Chain A
Amino acid sequence: MTYTEEERAIIRLDSYGLEYSKKAKLYRLAPSARALFADFGKYRSAVAETAGEETAERIERSLADKEYTDGLLHMYSEKRIECVAFVSEKYPEELRQIPDPPLMLYCRGNTDLLKERKFAIVGSRRTLPQVMKRTEEFAEGLSSKFVIVSGLADGGDSAAVGGALNSGKVISVLAYGFDHVYPGCNRALLERVEKKGLAVSEYLPQEKPLPYHFPMRNRIIAGLSEGVLVVSGGEKSGTRITAAKAYEYGRDVFAFPYSIGIPSGVGCNALIKEYAKLTENLVDIYAAFGINLTETEKISLSAAERAVYEILREGEAHISEIAQKSGLKLHEVPIVLTMLEMKKLAVSCGGNRWAAVC
């Protein structure tokens, strides 16, 4: 991997681990990052004023070390990290347009995905099982037209990533450096994303997953994407930040509607009230982008399966309730439900209750 002089200068600038606002100010001090370091003597006092005397001294010290940037790049390539700087060709145009674009994107995986059309699917950690299934399907369907962008949290995010993984068209934006994994149980998922899709982070490899990183990360998800689908979100969910950012950047926001009283859907409904487009199927999303959708295949159902499916469409139901309404024997119901589950039309919600995947 070869980098231009300007790219190398930005990689150097980012390596000091400054907070975003200081980094951005330093970058704007000189006409280019390269100029900043080439004429550091000229800018030194300004640097010290913005980022503190200590930082200025650190930069000075590192400038004395001729191997500094090469050492950094060597370390990154050891960690299989590819650097995409603000000025790089691979840096996505959509992201450049946002008011606070990341200076650096540290990438692992297929960086070509950055230049394709992107669409974000985000959800909260507490997502209903039937919504998880639905999210997976949406991600799978949308990945035929878009690269799916998401986080890597449990729940909605993982479902979106999982659905898009098959096609390999998936970008996970992390809120921490590549030395870490959060949540730990998604380690395997992250590895698969790195292998088949792309994992992106604004943070230096050693940065930990700190709470304030997550809202910052959300701006990248929003900034990368032409549209954002919010599949679930409570009153104070991080998904609302992503949606708000997307709205601010002028991107389309979509949300699943929820019936009244479901805590994990309050945020979605609030978004619909404000600016999000109510979304029930892929057509709702494709229509906004002027994409035509070909008719999906019809699934054949037996009489009993149809009867049970119709019952489930009216709402979540307990097995005994299904037996009562359908006239099936109780022990026959699980058989039909398993069949429906295989046809991806029903999903277990726990406690012997089942719901339809609409």
Chain B
Amino acid sequence: MLSKVMSFALAGLDGIPVEVETDINNGLPSYELVGLADAAVKESRERVRSALKNSGRKFPTQKITVNLAPADLKKEGSWYDLPIAVGILKATGQLQGADTGKTVFLGELALDGSLRPVTGILPLLISAKARGYTSFILPAGNAGEAAYIEGLEIYTAATLTQVVDHLSGLLRLSPLAAKKYEAAKRGQYSSDLAFVKGQAIAKRALEVAVSGGHNILLVGPPGAGKTMLARCIPTIMPDMTFEEALEVTKIHSVAGILGEEGIVTLRPFRTPHHTATTVSLCGGGTRAVKPGEISLAHHGVLFLDELPEYHRSALEALRQPLEDGCITVTRAGGAVTFPANFMLCASMNPCPCGNYGSTDKVCTCTPAAIHKYRSRLSGPLLDRIDIQVEVDSVKYDDLVADTAEESSEIVKKRVERTREIQRDRFQGLQKMTTNADMGEREMQKFCRLSRECENILRMSFERLKLSARARARIIKVARTIADMAQSEQIAPEHILEAVSYRSYENFQ
């Protein structure tokens, strides 16, 4: 007898419907799984066999053929166990009267017949919903993330027996109650600007950077607090909207790093080690194409500590996603596009020994060594980092001083206000939300410079020997600073402050 059950395959962040066809014939007992299944799917045979037996069902001693259609699409992942098991039950008449119709089955089976949660549920549900599928049966462990999709009829089961009872009408499961994003329990960031003593200049630079969506480079000796400052960036970014949270959750779901809460509510903060390869940063892989660190940092912060230590090729690969907000990973099997709209925060020492410019320690680096160290960063990459600021080591007195530092909450309020101004400005413009996204055309429109500003800018180029490409960077940052001051016009002091955020060039 032949049976058909619906499931889904994942290609990047896209779900594609897969029909699981099971046919049972007389003949020598065998089990054939066709339809470009990878190893994890092929192994489902043993799990399905044991799970069925241990759930008190019969595994047919006949010739079984399972086909995953469309046959030309590669199937990866472990969620085909459940649809295959249900298909076999249907084909052997153990599920009489049950109509699975357009119900989508996803789930991995344990040998004892219980259902294990799988990765990538959220993007699968979103794609399935867009394609008109409304009924789903999922493992109970995936209930957390599935509950945030509204308008779906989702049943979650802990065991195969529960699924069978539900389908045969013996004991119906109750549909999963949808959860509101607003009600999601928000975690707490472990960092707060209030814990960072002193560093007023760097804090101001961080606020400017986050307000305008600019990338930032922190330059300072070891132990100055660069990492601590960087960790505060998510805490002053505006809260994620539901759409943003969903996008982030989708990616984290595919990567299999989703927590128990089911939805990501805090902005991601990713810190790949400097030995990271291009593939681990950008995404890829030989089997399933997995999102890389830059996609995991989507809507959050990608923190690259000790920037010059990273492989040059890995850094250069960041240029295109920094520009486009997404990355297309191409493999022989096809191309996958992952979103990668992140804020880049990088840190580095001023020189190999780290003491250049220090008052109390002597820098032992030769000028040639410093040159070499700094030349590891390419001009085009630095062009995409609008703000470069120095972080100097904190004096002991500052550390123990009992001065009240501004908390992240207060700074966040200001950032939100500045972002509001930008949202209004870029209304109706595609893919543009912050000043950093501005192109040449928008700058002409929104960043008119008075003659006085133009003179100061000209002077700064002539006198400070800035590179020509620094101009756009300075104007964008000046626009943000003006927005922070709620000033319609860019004033000379805004330009001057923007010029001061170029400490990297100071070294040259």
Using a CB–CB cutoff of 8 Å, the interface residues on chain A facing chain B are 125-126, 154-155, 183-185, 263, 316, 318-320, 330-332, 334-335, 337-339, 341-344, 348-353
Contacts and interface: CB of A to CB of B under 8 A. Distances in A.
A339 B455 CA distance: 12
Given A331-B201, A338-B500, 15 more contacts: A154-B367, A155-B367, A320-B198, A320-B200, A330-B200, A331-B200, A332-B493, A335-B496, A338-B496, A342-B463, A350-B357, A350-B507, A351-B350, A351-B393, A353-B392
Given A330-B201, A331-B204, A339-B496, A351 B221 contact: yes
Contact of A352 (B368, B392, B456): B392
A350 to B, nearest CB: 2
Contact of A319 (B201, B371, B464, B507): B201
B460 A352 contact: no
B362 interface: yes
Interface string B479-508: 000000000000001001101100100110
A185 B371 contact: yes
A352 B205 CA distance: 13
B187 to A, nearest CB: 31
B459 interface: yes
A181 B198 CA distance: 45
B368 A341 contact: no
A133 B158 CA distance: 74
A334 B493 CA distance: 10
A319 B220 CA distance: 15
A306 B507 CA distance: 25
A157 B204 CA distance: 37
A350 B460 contact: no
B313 interface: no
Nearest to A316: B359
Contacts of A330: 200-201, 204
A157 to B, nearest CB: 11
A17 to B, nearest CB: 28
Given A350-B506, A353-B359, A185 B368 contact: yes
Contacts of A155: 367
B390 interface: yes
Given A349-B357, A350-B390, A341 B463 contact: yes
Nearest to B499: A338
A94 to B, nearest CB: 31
| Chain B interface size, under 10 / 10 to 19 / 20 to 34 / 35 or more | 20 to 34
B370 to A, nearest CB: 9
B450 interface: no
B426 interface: no
A169 B198 CA distance: 48
Pick the most buried of B220, B221, B368, B456: most chain A CB atoms within 10 A of its CB.
B368
Majority secondary structure, B binding face = helix
Pick the most buried of B204, B496, B506: most chain A CB atoms within 10 A of its CB.
B496
B356 interface: yes
A126 B367 contact: yes
A351 B463 contact: no
A15 to B, nearest CB: 32
Contacts of B456: 342
B487 to A, nearest CB: 14
A57 B500 CA distance: 66
Contacts of A339: 496
Nearest to A263: B362
Q: Which 4 pairs from chain A and chain B are nearest by CB?
A: A350-B357, A334-B500, A351-B357, A154-B367
A330 B356 CA distance: 23
B407 interface: no
A270 to B, nearest CB: 20
Contact of B201 (A154, A342, A352): A352
B361 to A, nearest CB: 10
B483 to A, nearest CB: 15
A132 to B, nearest CB: 11
A313 B220 CA distance: 25
A49 to B, nearest CB: 44
Contacts of B464: 341-342
B92 to A, nearest CB: 75
5 contacts: A154-B371, A331-B204, A334-B500, A335-B493, A342-B464
Given A263-B362, A338-B496, A338-B500, A351 B390 contact: yes
B358 interface: yes
B477 to A, nearest CB: 12
Contacts of A183: 367-368
A341 B503 CA distance: 13
B366 interface: yes
A331 B366 CA distance: 33
B390 A352 contact: yes
B24 to A, nearest CB: 75
A338 B460 contact: yes
Contacts of A332: 493
A183 B456 CA distance: 35
A190 to B, nearest CB: 15
Contacts of A341: 463-464
A342 B357 contact: no
Pick the most buried of A319, A338, A339, A344: most chain B CB atoms within 10 A of its CB.
A338
Given A125-B367, A341-B463, A353-B357, A348 B503 contact: yes
Interface in B343-393: 350, 356-359, 362, 366-368, 371, 390, 392-393
Nearest to A333: B201
A352 to B, nearest CB: 5
A342 B460 contact: yes
Nearest to B459: A342
Interface string B181-220: 0000000000000000010110010000000000000001
Interface in B212-246: 220-221
A344 B463 CA distance: 8
A263 B355 CA distance: 15
A343 B464 CA distance: 10
Contacts of A334: 201, 496-497, 500
Contacts of A126: 367
Contact of B356 (A154, A319, A338, A350): A350
A334 B356 CA distance: 20
Contacts of A331: 200-201, 204, 497
